Structure 1
Amino acid sequence: MAAIVKFLQELQREISCSICRGYLCEPVTIGCGHSFCQACLSSSCRDGAQVFSCPECRQVSQGSELLLVNWHLAELTELGKELSSKILQSTQGQSQCVIHKKPFKLFCEQDQTTLCVTCGETPEHGAHKISPVQEAPDKYGRELQHIHSLLKQHLEENEQLLAQVKRPAVDWHWMIRGEFHKLHHLLMEEENRCLERISQEQKASQDTLSQHIQSLQDLLQDLQEVGQQANLDLLQDAKQLLGRSEAVLAQRARAVTPELREYPIPGLVQMLYRFRVDLTMDPTSADSCVSISGDLKSAKAEEDWPEETKDSSCHAVLAEQAFRSGCSLYWEVDVAQLPQWVLGIYTPSLRTRRRSGKKVTCTSLFLLQCVKKEEDYYLRTYPGPLNHRVKSPFPRIGVYLQYSSGTLGFYNVLQRSLIYKFYSIPFTAPVKPIFCPGPPLPGTKPGPMTLCPVDSHLCSCCHSSQ
C-alpha cells in the first residue's frame, strides 16, 4: 500500500502545473521538458513576445511552442485524477488520509467522501462544496429528518385519499348506471312506439290497397254489367263509368308505390359521428360529364350530360381514400341542390358465394339513388328492393360503412332516421365511396354534390350547417 501511495504522490507531481498548483489542463510541454497548463503559460508570458523563459527552470524557449498541446500528457492527467479519486474512496472508514498521512477534517459534499486538509486544496475538489467533517453529520441528519417528516406527511395524505377513493362521497357507479338505465328505458319506449307506428302504417297501407282492389273489382263488375245493357242505357252510364275509371287509375301509382316513412332514432347520428372520416374526391376518376372543385370536396354535373345515360349512374366519381379490413366509417354528403343523385360504394373484387352448390358472383356496386318523376321523388337501391316515394328531397345523406360485418347504411341526417341498410356484403379490400351528381333534369342548372366537413352539423330549423 505504501508503494502505491508513493507512486501516486509522484504521479500527482508530474501531472500538476507549477504555476496554478492544480492538475494540468491542456498541458503544454516546452523545450526544457517542463509542462504547464496552456492558459497558465500564456498568461505568464508577455503579449507578442517571440521568446520566453521557463517559469520553473528559467530556460529560454520559443513563443510558438505555446500552441503545441501534449495530448498524451493530458490523457495521463485524467488517468491520474481517476486513480487518486479511487484511492481516496478506498480509504473511507480509516482515520487519516493514506496519501498525505493527515487526519480527515473535511467532507466533500459532491463526492460524498472525507478529506484531509491537503486533499481539500487539490484541483479535484477545489470547486466542490467542502464543509468541516464535524458539521456534516448534523447537517445531513437535519435534512434527512426533514425529508422523513415530509414523506410521513405525504404517506398519511395519500392513505386518506385512497380511503376516499375506496369509499367516495359520491357513488358515481350508481348514478351513471341509473342514467344509462333511464336512457335504456326511454329508448325501449321509443322503439316500441316506432314499431307500433310501423305496424299501424303497414295496416293502413294494406287497407288502402284492399280498398283500391275493391274499387277495381267493383269497377270491373259495373263495366261488365254495362256492356250487357242496351245502347241507350249504355250511353246514360258511360260518362259516369269513364270518370270513375280515370279516378281509380290515377290512384294506382300511389297505391302501388309505397311512401318511405321517417322513423327518427334518438342519438343515432350523434353515435355515428364517432366514426366520421375526412374524404376527398379523386379527380382522375371523373369523366367529361362531371367536374370536381379545386379542394376535391365537390362534384358537379356538366351541361353536356349524354341524353342516352339520363337514368344511369355511369358518370360517377370515386373517393381518393380506400378502406380495408376491420374499420367503421361514416361520412355525410350535401345533396340539397340536386334533384337527382347517386351515392354508395365500389369495390373492384368481392368474394364469390355458393348457393345450392353453384358459385354466385356478387355485385361490386352498392348504391342509393334519388330520381325525380314529375312532382314526386323516389329513392331506389341497387341491388335491393327499395323503391319508395318521399315527400320531399333530403338535404343531407349520411353513409355508414362497417367493413368487418359487411354492412352499409344510408341515413336521412335531418330526420335522424334510417333510409336503407345492406347486410352481409362479402367485402374484400379495397372499398371506395362513390358519388354521382346527376343526371341533371332538362332545363335545370343543378348545384354541386358536396362532402361535408367532419365537424359540421345540420340544423333542423334551417337545414344548414351550424
Structure 2
Amino acid sequence: MDSAFVRCSPNRLICSICEDYFTDPVTIICGHSFCTPCLCLLWEDTQTSTCCPVCRAISQQMDFKSTIFAKKAVPTGESTIYQLPSSVKQICKTHQAMKSFFCPADKSLLCLLCCYSPGHVTHKHCSVKKAAEHYRENILMQMKSTWKNKQKNQRNLNKETKILKVWKVMGVFLCRHQLVQLYMPQPMDPQLSTWTISGMSERLNNFRVYITLEHKTNMCDSPLFEELRRLQCSQDTSHNPASLEFSSSWGAQIFTSGKHYWEMDMGHSCNWIIGLCKESWADRNNMLLNSEGIFLLLCVKVDDRFALFSTSPLRRQYIQRPQGWVGVFLDYEFGIVSFVNVASSSLICNFLSCSFSFPLKPFICYGPK
C-alpha cells in the first residue's frame, strides 16, 4: 500500500524548500508541510512576519507536530537521504569493502571485517543508517528546543521593546509638560510707564474752570470701594476690612457742551474717586460702578497694594498711583474724558468716542490717608 501511494503521489512527500524527501516534516497553519530544519533555517533571520514559502500565507506561530502520515509514507527501503555517496573515502583501504558500520567509541566508519578486528571487536557497532537516524533525531530535537527558546526570547524582547517605547513616549510627554509649565504665563501685576507730555498743562489751562463742591456726605464703608475691594481680592473672599469714613461731593456746575478742565488735590489719600457722572446717578442711593453714564478714575488700597480702575466699563489701569493733584478734561462735543497726573504732566487714561446725551456733573470721593 505504501509503495503504491508513493508511485501515485510522489510530490506530497517532497519538501518544496530542499526538494528532497521530508526530514522530520512539520505542517504550518496554511496546510503545507516542510522539513523542520529547512523551515527553521528559512525563518531564523526573517525581519518580517513569517509566511509560507509556497502560498505566502502569514503564519504567526509554528506547529511542530510532525505529520505522521508523511513519515509513514516515506519508502522503507534505501532512501535518498540515507544513501552514502560511492567514493574512495567510503571504501575500506585495508579490506576494500564498503564502510557500512559506525563505531560510537571512536566515531569512525568501519567495514564488516574491521568490526571484528582486535581494535574494535570489544566495541558496540551499528549500521551507518541507524547511527545517522540517531544523530539526526538528536540534532532535530536540539534545533526544536533552540527555535522555541529563540521564539520565546523574541516575544519577550518585543514585549520589552513595547514597554520601552511607552516609557519613551511618557518621558517625552512629561518633558513637554514641564516645558509647557515652564513657559506658561505666570500671574503678575504689571506696572506700565507714563511719559511726560510737553506743553500739555499749558494747553489744558486754556479750558480751566473752578469747581464748586456741594452735597458733601459722610458714608461708612462706601459700597463703591467695597465693590473694588471684592474685585481686587477675588481670590480671597474672606477679606473683610474695617469700616472707614468717606467723604463724597458733587460739583455745583453742570456741563452740557464745550471743553472744560479742572484739577483736584487728592493729597496722600489711599482710597479716592474722581471724574464725571450724569446727574441721575449722583442722586441715587445705591451708586453702582457698572452703571452707565459714569466716567470715573478710582484708587483703592488692599493690604499694602494700590490699584487704579476706570469705569465704562470697569477695568484695571496698570500704572503707578498719582499723588497730589489729578486733572480732569472734558470735551463734550467730541465725547472725550481724560485724566492727567498734574505732577508729572502725563496722561493717566482716556475715555474716547463717548456719546454724551445727558448733563455731566463733577464727582469726588476720598477716604482717610
TM-score normalized with structure 1 length: 0.32
Q: Mark the structure with the bigger radius of gyration.
A: 2
Structure that is richer in helix per residue: 1
